[in-house]
Each structure stands twice: as structure tokens, then as C-alpha cells.
Structure 1
Amino acid sequence: MWGGLVGILVVAWAAALWRFDVRERRLPAWLTLPAAAGALPWISLAGCAWAGLYLALGVARGGIGGGDIKLALSLGIAVAHVTGWPGVLAAVFLANVATLVAQAARWHWAGAGDPAPAHGPGMLAAAGSVLAWGMWGPHGI
């Protein structure tokens, strides 16, 4: 029973983040910080890698916001808990591929001057895909 309720809450949280990022072009702290805090009991080096990478890139090059970094922490911890390092690396890769595909689609339909797409939806889709594969894939539950 609790697993189903938690699943519904996680899906509702991800949908709210997705919609907020697409509409407002930012991920609000009131959605990202509680998730990061809730993930802390399962913290690991692999789990922090995604957020650490985004923090380093944000400092060095810009273009990555604090919301993306906070979201990467909770998603990274969850993915690492289920799949370890390979899953975290796959999620980071897939998130960036998803955003690049969204960018190419926007340029195709709206022109090259259109702003870059939100990155949060790509992060959520990638983490969800890797978690699903880790939990129910060939070697999962």
C-alpha cells in the first residue's frame, strides 16, 4: 500500500517540476529542496556525482541553474541507490541527449533564435527511465 502511495506522490512531484520548468524556465526550491533532503538517508558518492558535475559545469561555464543542481542531487541519489555508478552515468548522458533533441526540435519548428528548452524534463525522463530499467529490466526485481 505504501509503495503505491509513494509512487503516486513521486509521479505528481515530477509532473509539477516538469510543468513548472517548461512554463517558468526554473525549478523552484520548494519542490527541489524537500526531495534532496528526503534522499539524504541514501546518500553516496555515486549519488552526489550528478549534482557535483552540474555544480562544476555551472561554476566553470554557466548555463546550469541552481534548480538543476538541486534536482540532480535527489535524482542522482535515487538512481545510484537502485543502479549504482553505471545508472548515474547513463542518466546524466540521457538527460543531456533528451535536452539536445528537444533543442533540435525547437530549432526545426520555431527557428534558431528560439531559447534553449528547459533541462528539468530531460533530467526527470532520464532518471525515470534508468530507475525503471534498474528496477524492472532484465536484472531488476
Structure 2
Amino acid sequence: MGSTGGVLVALALSAWLITLSAFDIRQRRLPNVLTLPGAAIVLAGAAIAGYGRGATLGAAALFAAYAAVHLIAPAAMGAGDVKLAIGVGASTGALGPDAWALAALLAAALTMGWAAVLLATRSDATVPHGVSMCISAAAVLWLVLP
């Protein structure tokens, strides 16, 4: 894919991630109508572009990790985050295992930082993890864009 094609894909993914983040901030949930079709489009696009294996592995790995957390502690991670993990895992997995790992670790670090600020201010607000997932995926995407 040429640099113009890469930028267009990055812009489309960024628009999806911004939409998801805005929804998660306002509603504290990620709807299936945004997470699941987006994940399917990311997986299909990656396969068409020749990055299907990495995207599939990234989606499966992040989904499995998030599903495990959700099953063990449902209050700690919502089902929307688990579904979002498919698309985020696919988009970062298509970029390679290093990009995938960086995005996964950055998402956790952002959520922990946000939670620490809330604890320090003695706020009883909750932290929507989907926002951290989206920010980290976008940051990694734009970081590795040729």
C-alpha cells in the first residue's frame, strides 16, 4: 500500500476510534453497532491488503486477554471493551507484534494513569477503558505509518 493509501486507512481508523471514544466518554459503554462492524471491516481490510494473519492473531490475542479479565472481574472491564479488543487488536496486530504489544501496554498505562489521577482527587468517577484502547491504537498507528 502506498503512503497515500496508508494515510487514508489511518484516517478512516482514526475516525472510527474517535467516534468510539466520544461514545464511551458520554455513555460509559461501547455499542455493538460500532464495535463489531468496525472489527469486521478492519479484519477484512487487513486480509485484502495482505496483513490478514497478523490482524487475526492480534484480534484473537487481545480478545482472549480482555475476555479473561471480563470473566474474572466483570466490573473491571465491560463487554464493550472485550468486543472493541477485536478491532483494536486486529488493527495493531496488522502492524506487527511490536506495534500490537506497544498498543496493549499503552492502553493499560493510560487507564492506570487516569485512575491514579481520579484516586488522587478522591473522585468517585469511573475510567472508561475503551478511550485508552482507542488512543493507544491511534498513537501506534500514526507512529508506524510510513
Could you say whether these structures have the same fold, taking a TM-score greater than 0.5 normalized by the shorter chain as the test? yes
Quote the residue 1:117 is aligned against: 127
The whole-number CA distance in structure 2 between the counterparts of 1:29 and 1:100 is: 25
- Number of residue equivalences: 133
Offset of residue 7 of structure 1: 4.3
Match of 1:37 among 36, 40, 43: 40
Q: Which runs of 5 or more residues in structure 2 are unaligned?
A: 45-51
Counterpart Cα distance in 1 of 2:7 and 2:82: 28
| Alignment match, 2:103 | 91
List gaps (5 residues or longer) in structure 1: 136-140
Alignment of 1:1-141 (within 5 A): 6-41=9-44, 42=52, 43-62=55-74, 63-82=76-95, 84-109=96-121, 111-112=122-123, 114-135=124-145, 141=146
CA distance in 1, matches of 2:118, 2:82: 24
TM-score with structure 2 length normalisation? 0.80
Task: Give the TM-score normalised by structure 1.
Answer: 0.82
Q: Matched residues in 2 for 1:80 and 1:102: separation? A: 25
Q: CA deviation at 1:21?
A: 0.6
> Are 2:108 and 2:132, in contact at CA under 8 Å, matched by a contact in 1?
yes
Root-mean-square deviation over aligned CA pairs: 2.0
Report percent identity of matched pairs.
33
Instruction: Point out which structure has higher relative CO (alpha carbons under 8 A, 6+ apart).
Output: 2
